[in-house]
Structure 1
Amino acid sequence: MKKTKLNLEKVPHELLFILHVIKEESTTAWFDQYEQFLKKVNWKAFLKLAKHHRLFPLLYQQLKQMDESCVPDYVLRYLKAIYQQNTFQMMHLTAEMNLLNQQFLKKNIRTIFLKGPVLGQELYGDISLRTSCDLDVLIPLENLGDAEALLIQLGYEKDDYIETILGDWTWRHHHVTYFHREKGVKCELHWRLNPGPSFEPGFNDLWNRKKKSSLLDGSVYLLGKEDLFFFLATHGARHGWSRLRWLVDIHRLLGQEVNWHQAVHLFTKYHFQRIGGQALLLSENLLNSETPVEVKALLDKKSQQLAQQAVFYMQYMVNLHTDPVPQSVSDYHGKHLFSLMSYQQKLLYMLSCMFPFPEDAETLPLPKFLHFLYVPLRPFLWAWRKSTKPLFVKVFKG
């Protein structure tokens, strides 16, 4: 099957160079192209992109093995400095992950670590080669209260508060963030892989397919390979692949032993086929990944369109994690997220919009025992807000 080619003409030269270096090929053609890239590299832009996409550990590992005379000394020194800083950060997170895991075990709370050091070890064989700024822990929803109490006991503080009505937080959101000021560690407690409304594997299914990490004493678990591919693809797509570290994760996983038939089954069962295809096409085009025959069923015209749409985030070095996000980017991202949905997911999303939002309670405050009234009132409250007329109504306090 002929590979689909994406239009990368507007992607910065320095980003294409970064991707070329990370491909880790040793052919004559690769070295010839490497030399051609070097002639036009803006090193300031190169370093900025390397940090933005969180790829500097891999770049440092590769470039230090090349002819150092081709790369400015200050570039290598800077890459070495942030590489070493990241190594200490990952060691710090590993120690904290071990502590949290032991504490959760004592409380009989089942935990699966989604990213962080376990992913660095699993996909790169070395925790220093992947960056991470926090710990992401997946637990059963019913254990969230006990897990939060444990984190607070250990010195963590809740770092965000979810506004909710009629219990919508359990399916509209997927994690709560906690921060340890003294240790400088952020921990996210997840009860879903992705925010809803969406279809995805339940915790018990993920637990039954979990995998032991080779890191530490073997009591730390991460997602099984097939679930990991599902999670990495859906997570990266949700963020527009705006950090290419997530795509390199996919590239690394594609080179490992995975039950690809099972992986396709997961994407099909939960209606994420087009997202799986998008991830594969991006990895093929940007990193020369070899797509296993078994997953080529995910590649179609729609996934090609979505892959091309994602190139936008690479052209403009989009940062979705720092407010304020430019309005033009926000508008594009909103449309892109909707286009990622299958027909079933779009229907589910539109149905979820009929369920009350916290904004409805702000528009018309009601006592808690009357919150069920927000269901039939939702269309009227939405229309009222759209009319931009303030509603100064205060009814029974309860």
Structure 2
Amino acid sequence: MQTLPRPYIRNFETNIRPEIELLLCCVRPQVDDAISERIKSLVKENIDWQYLIQIAHGHGVIPLVYTRLNAVCPKALPDSALNQLRSLFGAIAGRNLFLTGELIKLLELLKEQGIIAVPYKGPVLATLIYGDVALRQFGDLDIIVEVQDIFAVKKLLLDQGYRPNVEMTHAEEIAYLQAKTEHTYDFIHDDKGIFLEIHWRIAPKYITPIEPKHLWQDLEPFSLAGTTISYLPLEDWLPILCVHGSRHMWERLSWLCDIATLLHKHPDLNWEKVFKQASTFGCRRILFLGLFLAHDLLGVVLPTEIWQQVKAEPMVSAIAPRVYNQLFDQVRTSDRFLGRTLYHIQVRERLQDKVLYIQSFFHWLMSGNASV
């Protein structure tokens, strides 16, 4: 299968700060000699290291930035900056290991109760994509279950010391689970400082129709810290990750890094299955946008025939500059509800999905609920 060469280019309409260019160089899944030399050159500039560390942490890429700089040119960094990055990396790694242990315990308890549960993002995605749970920055846990199991899951979590993030009556819970605008039942463990999201959908229904029933037939065994769990194949993960990033208008660089690293480390994807899933989920344009961003911003090489299909979708190249311009902006397009609504309408290819989002937008206007 032929692939396209990908030279390094700047991808923003305006000049970007050297700190941001350095960040983008560090989080690419593959660094060739040219990028390595560019990193060495950039660290010699008047880098505002506190700003770099701040935006790296905000974008959830401290582990990637630290490991790349520590591998390429650790002696070129100020000791204070390197030590701060190392300290943050160590804290993130320790927290990730702690959350991994908690996740394994909960999955085993759910399995004992006969409840099918699949971890979403978090430790398993870190292991699956990066090969190291320490390399993906995450702060909470997510588990996918079927909606009919929610109350059994709640009882189990209460027994384990968790409490609902929002107290509801049983009638309110029923209405909540039926609402198109909701997709998680959230719990908190105060003593452990854990925020846990129990998903019965991947995202609100106005974002995507994806539910466990669409995924359960594809479950595969996966080893996490020596424990076998159920997980999704990469061909399912790719469109799901694109939907998640698109839902938030790609405002965190880490979501693109997940997609880019998955594509780089697994060039043998079954693209026929990926496209079939994307068409079923109504997210083919969203998938193409994710592939475009990963290629154009982070240098991922795509199979020629795949790239040709991506380029043939004109709305993708029209939307991408908006994503770039708001990615590191203080006032993001995603914070302006009209811009956000326009984005979500443009990124959908099916009329019924456009209509559903417009309906949710009017519901948001009437209710004053800013969660849309």
Question: TM class by shorter-chain length?
Answer: 0.7 to 0.9
Corresponding position of 1:178: 187
Question: Do the aligned residues in 2 keep the contact of 1:174 with 1:190 (CA within 8 Å)?
Answer: yes
**Counterpart Cα distance in 2 of 1:179 and 1:165:** 20
Structure 1 residues 330, 202: CA separation in 2 closer, same or farther (over 3 Å shift)?
A: closer
Alignment of 1:18-167 (within 5 A): 18-23=23-28, 25=30, 27-38=32-43, 39-160=45-166
What root-mean-square deviation, in Å, do the aligned CA atoms of Structure 1 and Structure 2 show? Answer: 2.9
TM-score by length of 2: 0.86
Query: 1:49 Cα shift?
Result: 1.0
Between 1:191-200 and 1:342-351, the stretch displaced more is 342-351
Residue in structure 2 matching 1:347, options 347, 355, 368: 355
SS at match of 2:279: helix
**Counterpart Cα distance in 2 of 1:281 and 1:351:** 29
Alignment of 1:203-352 (within 5 A): 203-255=212-264, 256=266, 257-293=268-304, 295-296=306-307, 297-299=309-311, 300-317=313-330, 329-342=336-349, 343-350=351-358
Query: 1:278 Cα shift?
Result: 1.1
Point out where structure 2 has 5 or more consecutive residues left out of the alignment. Answer: none
Query: 1:40 Cα shift?
Result: 4.1
Percent of residue pairs identical: 24
**Counterpart Cα distance in 1 of 2:13 and 2:141:** 34
**Counterpart Cα distance in 1 of 2:118 and 2:203:** 15
Structure 1 residues 79, 6: CA separation in 2 closer, same or farther (over 3 Å shift)?
A: closer
Query: 1:151 Cα shift?
Result: 0.8
SS at match of 1:289: coil
User: What amino acid is aligned across from residue 319 of structure 2 in structure 1?
Assistant: L
**Counterpart Cα distance in 2 of 1:143 and 1:24:** 38
Query: 1:303 Cα shift?
Result: 1.0
SS at match of 2:228: coil
Structure 1 residues 237, 356: CA separation in 2 closer, same or farther (over 3 Å shift)?
A: closer
Point out where structure 1 has 5 or more consecutive residues left out of the alignment. Answer: 361-398
Question: Do the aligned residues in 2 keep the contact of 1:242 with 1:318 (CA within 8 Å)?
Answer: no
Structure 1 residues 64, 160: CA separation in 2 closer, same or farther (over 3 Å shift)?
A: same
**Counterpart Cα distance in 2 of 1:125 and 1:349:** 36
User: What amino acid is aligned across from residue 65 of structure 2 in structure 1?
Assistant: L
The CA deviation string for residues 206-230 of structure 1, in whole angstroms up to 9 with x for no partner, is: 1111232221344322222111111
Structure 1 residues 351, 32: CA separation in 2 closer, same or farther (over 3 Å shift)?
A: closer
Structure 1 residues 347, 85: CA separation in 2 closer, same or farther (over 3 Å shift)?
A: same
Residue in structure 1 matching 2:22, options 4, 17, 23: 17
Between 1:165-174 and 1:271-280, the stretch displaced more is 165-174
Question: Do the aligned residues in 1 keep the contact of 2:28 with 2:257 (CA within 8 Å)?
Answer: no
SS at match of 2:223: coil
Question: Do the aligned residues in 2 keep the contact of 1:234 with 1:275 (CA within 8 Å)?
Answer: yes
Question: Do the aligned residues in 1 keep the contact of 2:203 with 2:210 (CA within 8 Å)?
Answer: no
Query: 1:355 Cα shift?
Result: 8.4
**Counterpart Cα distance in 2 of 1:166 and 1:178:** 18
User: What amino acid is aligned across from residue 315 of structure 1 in structure 2?
Assistant: F
Which protein has greater RCO, CA pairs closer than 8 Å, 6+ apart?
A: 2
Question: Do the aligned residues in 2 keep the contact of 1:213 with 1:221 (CA within 8 Å)?
Answer: yes
